[in-house]
Amino acid sequence: MKKQILFWSMMVWTLSVGLPSFAQTVEDFEPSEVNQPGRIYPQVNSERRVRVQISAPEAKKVQLDLGGVKYDLVKDEKGVWIGESAPQQEGFHYYQLNVDGASVPDPSTIYFYGAGRWGSGIEIPAHDADFYALKDIPHGLLSEMNYYSDLTKTWRRCFIYTPAEYNDNKEKRYPVLYLQHGSFEDETGWGRQGKANLILDNLIAARKAVPMLVVMDNGYATKSGEKSPSGASIFEEVLMNEVIPMIDIKFRTLSNRENRAIAGLSMGANQTMRIAMNHPDNFAYYGGFSGTSNYPSIEPLDATIFLDGKFKSGKAVNAQFKVFFLGLGTAEPHPFPGVVKAFRQMLDKQGIKYTYYESPDTAHEWLTWRRALNEFAQLIFK
């Protein structure tokens, strides 16, 4: 036992002397909550540093690639590489490992679709994580549905959240929120890293939100024949002509405008704003999280020409929307703050009422969007 203590003391000493980057690191790391079952790495400490570990005995250089920075790992005598990042912001971040030039997922995490790939994720516990925690309350279902699109001539998939009571009340009909992901993400985002189902479960159990369905589709849709993702998007047509009618048939929905909301994050905010403005008979609620349709411009907007003058009549827009919601993280990078500011200035000028929510200390990432959804969902269908 004494020998062991001596061994560990020397190890710690060796590490603190040999690896300067460890010197100032608080040694209270805990496994990340999105690790694969039984994996103790990656870990996060109270400073919000991420420590990763991977066995790569013959590698020359291994790095942690997180938040646009590549951190060198250090190899031990058994060929195991270890190292950590600078402190990160609270919430969920995508990351990869780099092994001798190969950018690969960390084999110890579960995987998420973002940044145009299925890759690793890390969860930095947030001080307000309670609102999306898995609690002992009734839970809804997150259901995967395959459907064939006649417009794109491809198989597509959407996810549908049904609240816990949906299966209990066989006759009751429910309002529906259509909720979209951002660029280089897909229909899985809101249900995995977005935790939309848990956010709704918690709000509904606390009676802070009314029971509702949430439909999460894929925002990428191009016309049949145009294989490139750069083909003109027909997501609006797919949503309006295929998805909404299908959901209204398959589920017990309330299908009037007063019971239909639409929201999205980043690219999805841009898309859903256009859709909401083009279909005033279909949506009475709009939520734009970290994005507006003037993206990427930060120039002042002329309401007479922006979106074909859809915001020209403040009175008409105020009559259309029971809730017009905008959310943004206070740490978002250029151009998002400027884009949203320019859009808000136009709204103010037109006398358009809206709710503005700022997520403290979060960037263009999922904690901003979880919080924005948490706020938005409490306002709609009331």
CA distances from 236 to 34, 75, 178, 368 (A): 33, 51, 12, 25
Q: Which residue has the tokens 């979209």?
A: 180
Q: How far is the CB of 153 from a copy of itself (least distance, A)?
A: 11
Find out whether 326 and 355 touch, Cβ atoms under 8 Å: yes
Q: How far is the CB of 318 from a copy of itself (least distance, A)?
A: 37
Q: How far is the CB of 78 from a copy of itself (least distance, A)?
A: 11
Structure tokens at 320: 């259309």
List the one residue from 87, 107, 300, 351 that touches a copy of itself (CB under 8 A): 107
Q: Nearer to a copy of itself by C-beta: 8 or 118?
A: 118
Q: How far is the CB of 205 from a copy of itself (least distance, A)?
A: 13
Q: Nearer to a copy of itself by C-beta: 218 or 290?
A: 218
Q: Nearer to a copy of itself by C-beta: 56 or 254?
A: 56
Q: How far is the CB of 185 from a copy of itself (least distance, A)?
A: 11
Q: What is the footprint of a copy of itself within residues 173-232 (CB under 8 A)?
A: 186, 229
Residue 360 CA to residue 345 CA, distance in Å, equals: 21
Q: Strand locations in the chain, DSSP E?
A: 30-31, 43-44, 50-55, 62-66, 69-72, 74-75, 80-84, 91-99, 102-104, 111-114, 117-124, 141-149, 154-162, 176-180, 213-216, 260-265, 285-289, 323-329, 355-359
List the one residue from 31, 47, 74, 117 that touches a copy of itself (CB under 8 A): 117
Q: How far is the CB of 376 from a copy of itself (least distance, A)?
A: 23
Q: Nearer to a copy of itself by C-beta: 57 or 225?
A: 57
Structure tokens at 372: 């924005």
Residue 251 CA to residue 141 CA, distance in Å, equals: 13
Q: Nearer to a copy of itself by C-beta: 178 or 251?
A: 251
Q: How far is the CB of 73 from a copy of itself (least distance, A)?
A: 11
Please give the size of the binding site for a copy of itself, defined by CB under 8 A: 50
Q: Nearer to a copy of itself by C-beta: 171 or 299?
A: 171
Q: Which residue has the tokens 């660029």?
A: 183
Q: How far is the CB of 213 from a copy of itself (least distance, A)?
A: 12
Q: Nearer to a copy of itself by C-beta: 42 or 119?
A: 119
Q: What is the footprint of a copy of itself within residues 118-177 (CB under 8 A)?
A: 118-119, 134, 136, 139, 141-148, 155, 160, 167-168, 170
Q: Nearer to a copy of itself by C-beta: 10 or 104?
A: 104
Please count the other Cβ atoms lying within 10 Å of the Cβ belonging to residue 188: 20
Residue 374 CA to residue 357 CA, distance in Å, equals: 11
Q: What is the footprint of a copy of itself within residues 241-300 (CB under 8 A)?
A: 250-251
Residue 84 CA to residue 22 CA, distance in Å, equals: 8
Q: Which residue has the tokens 């939520």?
A: 287
Q: How far is the CB of 113 from a copy of itself (least distance, A)?
A: 8
List alpha helices for the chain, DSSP H: 2-18, 20-23, 196-205, 235-237, 244-250, 267-278, 314-320, 336-350, 366-379
Find out whether 219 and 268 touch, Cβ atoms under 8 Å: yes
Q: Nearer to a copy of itself by C-beta: 208 or 250?
A: 250
Residue 287 CA to residue 263 CA, distance in Å, equals: 4
Q: What is the footprint of a copy of itself within residues 28-87 (CB under 8 A)?
A: 36-38, 54-62, 79
Q: How far is the CB of 53 from a copy of itself (least distance, A)?
A: 11
Q: Nearer to a copy of itself by C-beta: 119 or 175?
A: 119
Q: What is the footprint of a copy of itself within residues 85-104 (CB under 8 A)?
A: 96-97, 99-104
Residue 130 CA to residue 353 CA, distance in Å, equals: 30
Q: Which of 49, 14, 12 is nearest to 30 (CA)?
A: 49
> What residue ranges bind a copy of itself (CB under 8 A)?
36-38, 54-62, 79, 96-97, 99-105, 107, 109-111, 116-119, 134, 136, 139, 141-148, 155, 160, 167-168, 170, 186, 229, 250-251
